[in-house]
């Protein structure tokens, strides 16, 4: 029973971390960063100061992180307890008649090691991970568990500054305006590039007009970017 519970908790832990990563991505984090932050929260390790600002600056992300931390601690305690109990000598129906009583802990340990390896290989398989991620994302979006946003926070510097990619049609009064007329620079927001129709316009000039479908790669205070482009 303890062995089955340990394996079950391990599988659920992988799924919870994946759900957490998807939730972070839906709030605007870049995917690789979202995966790292979900794993960091769940295991309470590797949570760097700069990247922590991406989580603590947004209330929705703080709630996601809090849930992951609580579930992570609960899962860790459960796995430690079930792992310890699995290594205690115990009689198993049917098998006890054929195997030595002292061999059972070693058999259980072998099963645990093999199970961890198999589960890890399954969840890190690119095809399986992609299908699982797509299925979970569709369900989360359909049920509106996390409201998706049309921007991505790509990098962060000290003081809350960072680089974001923002869909121009997501809000604000910038459509059909030039970068100069949008007055983004007035609010400390610099447009580094515009992604239009799959092509990138680097370092756009002040008279470049913003049209529907454009994605703006901006640098500035992330809070100001969300505020000025109506993303909060």
Which tokens is 152 given? 């991505």
The burial of 111, by beta-carbon neighbours within 10 Å (0-12 exposed, 13-18 middle, 19 or more buried), is given as middle
Q: In this structure, how many other beta carbons lie within 10 angstroms of the beta carbon of residue 28?
A: 24
The domain limits of the chain are: 2-142, 151-228
Query: What is the rounded distance in angstroms from the CA atom of residue 169 to the CA atom of residue 101?
Result: 68
User: What are the two backbone dihedrals, phi and then psi, of residue 6, each rounded to the nearest 5 degrees?
Assistant: -60, -50
C-alpha distance from residue 18 to each of 5, 58, 61, 97, 114 (Å): 20, 20, 15, 42, 22
Query: What is the rounded distance in angstroms from the CA atom of residue 46 to the CA atom of residue 106?
Result: 32
What is the pTM for the complete model shown?
0.67
Per-residue pLDDT for the chain (232 aa), expressed as one digit of tens each? 678 888 999 999 999 999 999 998 888 777 888 898 899 899 887 666 666 777 777 788 889 999 999 999 999 888 888 888 877 765 555 555 555 556 677 777 888 899 999 999 999 898 999 999 999 988 887 887 776 666 677 777 767 788 888 887 655 578 888 999 988 888 899 999 998 887 899 999 999 998 888 888 999 988 888 777 754 4
Q: In CATH, which superfamily holds the domain spanning 151-228?
A: Regulator of K+ conductance, C-terminal domain (3.30.70.1450)
Which tokens is 182 given? 């949008």
């Amino acid at each position: 029973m303890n062995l089955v519970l340990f394996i079950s908790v391990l599988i659920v832990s992988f799924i919870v971390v994946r759900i957490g990563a998807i939730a972070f991505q839906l709030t605007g984090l870049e995917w690789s960063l979202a995966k790292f932050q979900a794993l960091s929260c769940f295991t309470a390790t590797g949570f760097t100061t700069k990247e922590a600002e991406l989580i603590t600056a947004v209330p929705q992300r703080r709630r996601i992180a809090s849930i992951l931390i609580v579930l992570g601690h609960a899962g860790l305690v459960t796995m430690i307890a079930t792992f310890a109990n699995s290594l205690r000598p115990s009689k198993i129906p049917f098998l006890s008649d054929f195997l030595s009583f002292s061999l059972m802990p070693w058999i259980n340990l072998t099963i645990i090691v093999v199970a961890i390896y198999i589960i890890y290989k399954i969840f890190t398989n690119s095809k399986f991970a992609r299908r699982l991620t797509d299925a979970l994302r569709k369900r989360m979006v359909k049920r509106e568990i996390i409201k998706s946003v049309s921007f991505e926070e790509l990098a962060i510097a000290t003081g809350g500054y960072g680089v974001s990619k923002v869909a121009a049609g997501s809000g604000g009064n910038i459509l059909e305006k030039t970068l100069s007329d949008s007055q983004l620079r007035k609010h400390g927001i610099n447009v580094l590039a515009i992604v239009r129709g799959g092509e990138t316009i680097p370092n756009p000039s002040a008279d470049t007009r913003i049209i529907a479908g454009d994605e703006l790669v901006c640098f500035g205070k992330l809070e100001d970017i969300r505020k000025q482009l109506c993303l909060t």
